[in-house]
Structure 1
Amino acid sequence: MYKHILFATELNETKSYIEDKVTQLQQLTQAKLSIIHVVEPIPSAYYSGEYGVISGLGSVDSIGTTKIFEERAKEVLQPLAKRLNISEQDLHIPIGHTNEEILAFAKQENVDLIITGSHGVHGLQLLLGSTTNAILHGAKCDVLAVRFKE
């Protein structure tokens, strides 16, 4: 059975039904459980200058902005880690491209199951693909894509 489960989550994915599945699988397998949330770097055009689209950041550069998002993610994910009864050292918030960081972590840490949420694919996502799709096709381990209830 599984020895290391990775819960790849977005900040808005902390719904009880996905947490329940993660908890049940971890308890069933007694596997180590890690949580990952990736902070994607934002191009400076989105927040810089007088007309930046991210308000309230003042004159923060790309490194500062990324750090703010990383801290906010940690604040949101710490209660999730507590609910799932895992230590803070098993909570990972890398900076980079989401699917690449998740797949790299899974390979490096010998993850044998990635659990992630799955949204219905509509419109532009059909052309560009989704993170879940990239994980499904790139992972060297099992992937459980939990469908979000709409």
Structure 2
Amino acid sequence: MNNYQNILLAIDFSDYGHYVAQRAKSLAEQFNARLHIIHVLDNIPMPDTPYGMVIPLNDDSSYDLLETEKNKLIQISNQLDILPERRWMIWGEPQQEITQLAAQEQIDLIVVGSHGRHGLAMLMGSTAKGVLYHAECDVLAIHLKDHQE
């Protein structure tokens, strides 16, 4: 088995994002791999913006919600020592954008958090489940428990 060379951290800024990010960084260090990061905007309105649009992180906008999201991604990326050319913020559907970027960037492993939902939420699907089924590479779903810090 070949070692992972490119690891993509899919982050959603949830309360557990720091835990997932640290697991991804640890894996990247263990395998001496390049760590990439993606945040898919699907929870804020983006007027006149087509799905799949990459949001430039170095351009300022007058949209406060977008600037807040960009600043969070930049801060996390800086803490993880992820180079600017390996950072993406994309407007769209998370499962689709994560798997497309992974294929484009020749990602070997996608790291994503999963709450392990049950019942109706499980039937409706989740980002982790969608990525697992559609990715062309390995996917590591970090199980998030309500009591983790």
The TM tier, using the shorter chain, reads: 0.7 to 0.9
Aligned residue in 2 for 1:98? 94
State the partner residue of 1:7.
9
**2:124 alignment counterpart:** 128
Which sections of structure 1, spanning at least 5 residues, go unmatched? Answer: 44-60
Contact 1:41 1:95 in 2 (8 A): no
Of Structure 1 and Structure 2, which has the larger fraction of its residues in helix? 1
Q: Name the structure 2 match of 1:25.
A: 27
Decide whether the 8 Å contact of 2:44 with 2:65 is kept in 1.
no
One-letter identity of the residue aligned with 1:21: R
Q: 1:36 to 1:111 in 2, by over 3 A?
A: same
Which segment drifts farther, 66-75 or 138-147? 66-75
Identical positions, percent: 36
Question: Residues 54-69 of structure 1: matches in 2 within 5 Å?
Answer: 62-63=47-48, 68-69=64-65
TM-score, structure 2 as length reference: 0.78
Paired letter, 1:128: M
Task: Letter of the 2:35 partner, please give it.
Answer: L
Structure with the higher strand share, 1 or 2: 2
- Structure 2 stretches of 5 or more lacking a match? 50-54, 56-62
Following TM superposition, by how much is the alpha carbon of 1:42 offset from its aligned partner in structure 2, in angstroms? 5.7
Runs of 4+ in 1 over 6 A off after TM superposition: none
Separation in 1, partners of 2:135, 2:123: 21
Please say which structure displays the higher CA radius of gyration. Answer: 1
CA distance, structure 2, for counterparts of residue 134 and residue 102 of structure 1: 10
Aligned residues: 131
Cα deviation, residue 32, structure 1: 1.1
Hey, what's the Cα distance between the residues in 1 that align with 2:118 and 2:7? 29
TM-score by length of 1: 0.78
The 8 Å contact of residues 42 and 62 in structure 1, kept in 2 or not, is answered as no
**1:21-60 CA distance string (max 9 Å, x none):** 11111111111111001012767xxxxxxxxxxxxxxxxx
